[in-house]
A and B are shown apart, each in its own frame.
Chain A
Amino acid sequence: MTDATMTHAHSQEAPPRRALARQVLPYAMLSPAVLVTLAIVFFPMVQTAWMSLHDYVLFRPNVFEWVGLKNFRTALQDEVFWISLWHTVIWMCTTIPAQLLLGLVTALLLNQSFPWRPLARALIIIPWALPSVVIALMWVWIYDSNYGVANEFLLRLGLIQKAIPWLANPDTALASIILTLTWQGFPFFAVMILAGLQSIPRSYYEAASIDGASTWRQFWHITLPGISGVMVTAVLLRTIWVANSFDVIFVMTGGGPGYATYTLPLFAFVKARTNLDFGYGSAIAVLFTLLLMLVVVVYLKRTGKAVS
């Protein structure tokens, strides 16, 4: 009874004010976050695009000359740009499938029941929580040409005849880094896929085994469709993440030896950091972003069809 009168009274005196408040309130609540992101994300992004159209070298701070698309033309004629682009393609096309595969196997194992499963699940994620600098440090130590454990291990197994300077040799440097990045990123896939696996109802498998479906067919017809959505999302997130993470490479080799481990984001960063050429660096960053966006859009289009 009291409740009814209260709501009644409310709705009688309030309509115009409350309606206005209702309309303004969400925007008021959003505005701090939106304004700050505008200031620290969108404004700087526009500035990158703007800088890429100028001649802007930091040790000549007074020169900020409009040059149109000159930086982009220089980039496309720059041999290092194409080398970096090629490495970026190799790097993305090997790291992500390797992570996905290893993550899938790990998730399938973690989905079985065995006594120490909770422990395994907690420990598997550790590489993901480590600072990239520390990851780079420990893998440099592992790959060390004189005292590294990788050489020691392979020598004892008789797989190599003499110690290989993994990171100093242009032929092995990129592959070594890809292994490190795979190690760093596969736990993410494992955890995401495991969550997907656990959302598949047990009854599906029970019904299938009553119908006599083999383990392999169960995997193909129940498990894979059940986790495809999660895998699509995970691959997308990882692609963006891996594309971003040049910090491990930067610390491990700095792009060397020569240009053997240059990738596009690293190239842009090094151009700006060591040559202080912010105009050119920005142009490469913009080009890289456009390429990445293209990949993401194509990927979403194709997988969107496949999944639905």
Chain B
Amino acid sequence: MALGRRSTLRRILTVDLPMLAILAFTLGPYLWMFLTSISDESTLFTEGPSIWNATIENYTRLFATVGFADNLLDSLIVASGTVAVGLSLSVTAAYAFSRFNFRGKRILMLQFLLINMFPLVLLILPLFVLMRVLGLLDTHLALIIANSTVAIPFSIWMMVSYMNGIPRSLDEAAMTDGCTRMQALRRVVLPLCLPGIIATGIYIFITSWNEYLYALTLGGRNVRTITVAVQTLIGEYEVQWGLLTAGGIVGALPATVLFLAVQKRLISGLTQGAVKG
């Protein structure tokens, strides 16, 4: 009994408390931002952020005067478009990598890995020139294309690992029963790796939603995503921290919620490289 109590105390000292400290460091800035965003602008600088006179005034101002709704819509279009492009192009490619042996397979696989390793700054300049020539600057399409440079290789890698987790014997059984390859892919493999596809899609959505440099360079007056809008706020409302932090919270919220929803599956896909079938 006494022993049990002592080891609990020991656990609290060596595990719970350090963990709490790390969590405080992790979440502190975020909570501080939230607290500032619900503080009254007039008392913010005299008394500091506080929870006692909480107000949503900053949020209403954000949507009424700054026009954040349009920016949210732009971000939504770009992120959804990138998910659609990224997933549709990579499903068949991932299946080919997962199920066939062919000449050049290793090189091609490696190529998709290497793409992710090149610095973004190497791509952003030529993409700007390219979009200017094509007249695509300041359109959703330009941003979707730019985000796809990351999304396609990433989702191919994720999906190959999910598909490798599905036994080959399943599609062979389907083909013995008279399915063609494509039918086996559509009716057997895809439904089985649907959870993985959804997780990959959500990850692409989050990264495109959070993307800033392409949005800044290739966007403009018509297409201004939420990240660019937040950054513009910093310039325009320099000292109005209540409004600024409200913008930050709104900008971060969709990604945070989505991420918490799928983090378990996503992390297992990212870290193990394969999901058990």
Contacts and interface: CB of A to CB of B under 8 A. Distances in A.
B89 A32 contact: yes
A209 to B, nearest CB: 15
Given A27-B102, A47-B126, A138-B33, A36 B152 contact: yes
A244 interface: yes
Interface stretch (A89-97, A165-173, A216-224, A286-294): A286-294
B16 A281 contact: no
A112 to B, nearest CB: 5
Contact of B29 (A25, A139, A240): A139
A52 B26 CA distance: 41
Nearest to A142: B29
B25 A183 contact: yes
A48 B122 contact: yes
B267 A191 contact: yes
B93 A30 contact: yes
Contacts of B32: 138, 141-142, 149
Interface residues of A, number: 84
- Grouping DSSP codes into helix (H, G, I), strand (E, B) and loop, the B interface class, with mixed when no group exceeds half, is helix
A51 B252 CA distance: 36
Contact of A131 (B36, B117, B126, B251): B251
B174 to A, nearest CB: 14
Interface of A: 3, 6-7, 22-23, 25-27, 29-30, 32-34, 36-37, 40-41, 43-45, 47-48, 51, 102, 105-106, 109-110, 112, 114, 120, 122-134, 136-142, 144, 146-147, 149, 152, 183, 187, 191-192, 195-196, 230, 240, 243-244, 246-247, 250-251, 265, 268-269, 272-273, 278, 281-282, 285-286, 288-289, 292, 296
Interface of B: 11, 15-16, 18-19, 22-23, 25-27, 29-30, 32-33, 36, 44-45, 48, 89-90, 92-93, 95-97, 100, 102, 105, 108, 111-112, 115-130, 145-146, 148-149, 152-153, 156, 176, 181, 206, 209-210, 212-213, 217, 226-228, 230-231, 234, 241, 244-245, 247-248, 251-252, 255-256, 259-260, 263, 267-268, 270-272
Given A130-B256, A138-B30, A285-B125, 18 more contacts: A25-B96, A29-B93, A33-B156, A36-B148, A36-B152, A37-B149, A109-B15, A112-B11, A120-B19, A124-B22, A130-B210, A137-B247, A138-B29, A141-B33, A191-B267, A195-B267, A244-B119, A269-B213
